[in-house]
Structure 1
Amino acid sequence: MNGLDGYMQVNLKARHLRLLVTIDTYRNLTQVAEVTHVTMPAVSKSLAELERGLGLTLFTRTAQGLVPTPHGECLIRHAREMLTILHQARDEMKALSSGTEGKVHIGMLPASASALLPLALNLLKMRSPGTNVRVVEGTRGALLPELWQGRLDLIVGRLPAPDTLGSFDEKALLEEPVTLMTGRQHPLARRKNVDWSDLHPYPWILPPQGSILRDSLERTLRAHDVPLTNNYIETLSVHVTRAHLQISDSIAVMVGTPANDAEQPLHALPLTLPRLLRPSGVLWNRNRGLTPSAQLMVSCLEEAAQQLQSGTT
């Protein structure tokens, strides 16, 4: 066993991992000493001992502060992951000791799990009141790294393209129709028959440029010779979309069955769209597996999807 193997297997401690992450965060030993409540010579000594034990230089000193070397970047990345795992183990053991069943960390994609996730959370709380949940809403680009690093257990929402999944497993849960919507006062809402050419004069509420739904919609409109005007609003907010349709002659593309709302009733245009999106579902990191609490959450998501599909909610 060489020096690096021996040190990593026997001498590397959680305090070393915390030190590496803290130095990487602040890049200044004085600040590291302040936040860890030890002296700067003690921080410097700990880093020197770690580098000596590994036989590697982990940071270089520059005018801008401490900068990780390639070896340092590698170890810091794994240190963050290992600390996350230790924190999760701590939380699970504390939950067991206190009589609760655990905690699930969920990422929610905006505008794509607004009905599914709340229903699943209600089912979870009915089955296991002691299982607690933290929900974070964000974009796919922001949430996937969190899932990869273990800071999230699950992501719920529109499933990404299969070729982007990498180390993630998925479960499809809910097929939702994509519909062209207007307010009830819209001129087209009073017509029994609507052709694609009738859409030409009206403004739009669109998903942001580059989103899956936006690209698919634009292809469909081009196929029907419907140009998108320069008069549009871009948003993923269902609330903004609904409110603006009530007071304008805009047309919006919406997912699910959003017409039946007592407070903000909408009108679905009788135009058939192809399947523009993959189903809503749940993602997890196959390399980490699922905790019992996360498994229960997946089960509740499956039941919630079945209820939504059958209309029994």
Structure 2
Amino acid sequence: MADELLDSALLRSGLKINHLRLILAIEDYRRISTAADSLGISQPAASRMLAEIEAIMKAPICERVARGVELTRYGEALARRARTIFLELREAAREINELKTGSGGSVSLGSVTGPALNLAVPAIRQVSTAYPGIEINVQIDNSNVLTRELLAARHDFVVGRIPDDLNPRLFNMVEIGFEEACLIVREGHPLLEKPIANADDLPGYEWVFQPPGTLLRRAVEDSFVSAGVRLPATVINTSSIILTLSIVRNTNAIAPVALDVANFVAGNGTPAGDIRVLPTQIPIRIKPYGLITAEGRALPPSAKLLYDLILKQSRA
């Protein structure tokens, strides 16, 4: 019933692209204020747009719940079609650009840092060598950001994890590996004087974390709680690995990172080589990562090629 109402209304409605963007932002963030911020508009403007959408559709699009808002079945139907519209627009732009330039296609990939180093880079090298005209766009970020970019049709696929606050039915995921995490400090850090740092020593230092709610951040916090240790009081939040390494290298701060990242920066001969892995009693457990695609969305040939090479690389 919801889809039938939507189909009929869309044929004669005055819905605009910005209306559809707002619906997708509300679905992603579940708060009108946060959705408005993500679109660069004020909350009153977002509320007016929402009222316009409901007037056009003649149906309630979202409803208030204890922790924000949720889309109604009509809103979910509209969001589902909106994602398809944005995907088709992006694919049309891609196809036209490829026809104009005669290029070998393009791929947009999102990846968390560790798998980007040990899986994506070798696969990208193979694709670039075999198809010199191909254009590959890579975003390195945390899974919370990347999966939302995937839903917004800004990526073909993602190497990462599905966040707990997103509906897993929106995705298809093939698990391809486990990512080890560790703590890093600067060369000469006081805690390196011990063979293994005690759990009780860790909260006394400044920490550099990924933003709240990210999987690595939560894994570390869970480890602290399991060990009966208080959480660090002084925290710097950033998703930038470059900024993280800079802070760690120049202060006594501690930061959790993927072990592949730590090994890379500790042994690459650059100034970041002043970074060391901190042996500690606290294990950091992160759930497996995988190749993630959006449900119901087929990969274009160039993206499927890179996807298959990363999958093959993971199983080698």
Of the three residues 232, 249, 260, the one matched with 2:267 is: 260
Q: Any stretches of 5+ residues in structure 2 without a counterpart?
A: 22-47, 62-73
Is contact 1:103-1:293 (8 Å) kept?
yes
Q: Any stretches of 5+ residues in structure 1 without a counterpart?
A: 27-62, 308-313
Letter in 2 for 1:231: T
Matched, 1:167 2:162: no
- Displacement of 1:255 in angstroms is 1.1
In structure 1, the residue matched to 2:216 is 213
Paired residue secondary structure (1:227): coil
Deviation string 1:166-186 (CA, Å, 9 cap, x unpaired) is: 131112233221112211111
Cα separation, partners in 2 of 1:275 and 1:284, compared to 1, 3 Å: same
- Displacement of 1:79 in angstroms is 6.0
Supply the distance in 2 between the matched residues of 1:286 and 1:270 (Cα, whole angstroms). 41
In structure 1, the residue matched to 2:129 is 126
- Count residues with an aligned counterpart: 260
Cα separation, partners in 2 of 1:201 and 1:130, compared to 1, 3 Å: same
- Displacement of 1:163 in angstroms is 7.7
Supply the distance in 1 between the matched residues of 2:161 and 2:295 (Cα, whole angstroms). 18
**Rg larger in structure:** 1
Q: TM-score w.r.t. structure 2 length?
A: 0.65
In structure 2, the residue matched to 1:227 is 230
Supply the distance in 2 between the matched residues of 1:64 and 1:235 (Cα, whole angstroms). 32
Of the three residues 95, 101, 104, the one matched with 1:101 is: 104
Letter in 2 for 1:21: K
- Displacement of 1:291 in angstroms is 1.9
Supply the distance in 2 between the matched residues of 1:24 and 1:208 (Cα, whole angstroms). 29
Cα separation, partners in 2 of 1:271 and 1:71, compared to 1, 3 Å: same
Where does 1:1-313 land on structure 2 (aligned, <5 Å)? 20-21=15-16, 24=19, 67-68=52-53, 69=55, 71=57, 78=81, 81-82=84-85, 84-85=87-88, 87-89=90-92, 91-92=94-95, 95=98, 99-109=102-112, 111=113, 113-115=115-117, 116-136=119-139, 140-161=143-164, 164-257=167-260, 258=262, 259-263=266-270, 264-265=272-273, 266-305=275-314
Deviation string 1:156-211 (CA, Å, 9 cap, x unpaired) is: 33443598421311122332211122111112223334332343533322233332
Deviation string 1:252-271 (CA, Å, 9 cap, x unpaired) is: 21212313342223222222
Supply the distance in 1 between the matched residues of 2:224 and 2:50 (Cα, whole angstroms). 53
* Overall identity of the aligned pairs, in %: 24
Give the RMSD, CA atoms, in angstroms.
Answer: 3.9
